[in-house]
Structure 1
């Protein structure tokens, strides 16, 4: 009997950036992952199954060590970010004042409402897919309302604004609707608006507080030139790149980051849609991303076509058009002088880098004859 360490892809939070395609069957890629985990193993040297298991489980533990729940036990984690977690417990008073009762220090009840909510919370809650939200045991509320397919302020005095958003398999599940989540809609059953109700509510969805400085730079030189209040997963990185903008991410973005490509990568599109014109027009300089904003749309960049060659960007030195639409949440910002895909001195400061959607690796030991 021999042991096969099968590497299975599991969308948890903050792991290595690996392709989500037939991972368990790709021995070469497995060795590269193990090398990254061990730090001192050359790729293709054939580490043992035990080395694989020990290294990856250690990494997995490190990545998930922080609990956002006051009792230290996390009831639900989600694929894209470790900074949003489901925490069990009963609270007294309104949900807006419940953070200190259930969430850990440095965490708070997620409040993602578009009108008056926390913009960073909107990004975090917006990374949760319906499938991931419904897989959590129980029902965990957050401080927002999902009526009319929008992410709205919770108002218990209005019949159309008192369905409290939540995650969990015991909640009211509506896969075909829209909400604060990335896909689908999940509400608390029974309309226990803002308050804990035994039998309906198991706890809260907690989001990590914004820190005063970014713990991770998305720039290759570790110096972030542009940041945004609504998300720390998008950053402006200064520098000159060689060749077309397609290759700029490899030259200027940190490992695990790439040039923001909202047309090609849906996760990047969702991130840019959280950044308002007001936020995007404040950084000094001009940082383009890979897309065109022609005709007020987020379109594929094609420098050979006049209607697809206005490169989208952020920064106060760009071409600012507050009244138009684009890949951003509001307004439109383009690179000046139609310096389409290449670096242009005096026009281009650097590029806009987005965090890649990441995955953790988990090990299962399988006995085979």
Structure 2
């Protein structure tokens, strides 16, 4: 009977302890902890204690905090100062902060005798001192302290520590730091990637649009990657359009766009097939034989294409070493290295492309028409084989698209508006003005010293003053009425000549004699 009673009591104790544990470890969405739980400090929105372990210095514990949160440090002293002593010791366990409290300061936690008392929160911490100054308010709690730096263990995880204190990062507007290219062109059936990588707090959500319509997540051919980039496989002509990347969080929004043009694949080879380099638009590998010099291999190229030569250097630079290794055979083109320069092929060292060419030399420093490395059709012992087709060695030629020559017509000197004041029309709507005039059609006269706020330049060097102002630059005020009897206007007041007075010098002054003064 007693045994049964003891078993029942034990079960009740287990249930009660489980209830207490579940009360103290509440799962809260957006709690600030990586595992979604929350332990204590329920009155704070920007601080939370999170369970877990880490290795080494507390700098390595950020994985315990959720995205948009970090391990609290000495830099968060203002935020930590909102935690009262009562709140700190009400938390079960012991939770560390990336801060040291030696000498009552809240400072960086480091391998130093004066900076190794690692701050903490919780009644399970080994060192608690009510009333002392620290990172929190009302007392000091250390999760580890005293001589840790002596053992090179300062600010490190220890078995008595249950986790860390996490602080919410300040909110930041989203910003796209890796934008997609403004314009890309791709052939049908290929893959293209549009980049859109952004920063912001909270972490921004990425959404892609095509021509203003949101791209659904159900499209298996078009996918938004975890990085935010958009991957499009097996491109179709219908994929042509304006793609817009939108990143958004609670603080704002940022956008970037890319114009994508998907073209039908067009081979540069006469037979309509391509042996390799399909991803390149202006250079293709075309198989077959030819007679004579390698330039005669144009018979293998489509109309509008030719055997590549040194003038196609820009296109050839787009070819990579991976392209070369991916191409079976050896395809010649009209080039050869002579005296360290890429020249047209004459007698030897005919350039080629493909993994089966006779001479392959990978060098970072450019030694050929290619951007990297050098590839010759023939081996060194066969380098004098010339610039011709050789059975069993050459598979064909590299064909490059001819550049279209656009005739540049010099724009005729036509000005839609007539040039004034002797100006001459020198180009399309461009007037060359004579000295003293400026403006699109030389309509504005120039007064070298200006006319100030009270005048207007009416012809070179001549100002027309507004009423009440005068002078070469219209900077002097005019007297409201004319100064009489030889008076002069000085600073908009009349300065009268001898023997006259009054505002306008209109009165004759009376000179009083000694007799007059006595009589008066």
Task: Select the structure with the greater relative contact order (CA < 8 A; seq sep ≥ 6).
Answer: 1
Structure (1 or 2) with the larger CA radius of gyration: 2
Same fold per superposition (TM over 0.5): no
Greater share of residues in helix:
1
Greater share of residues in strand:
2
TM, length-normalised to structure 2: 0.29
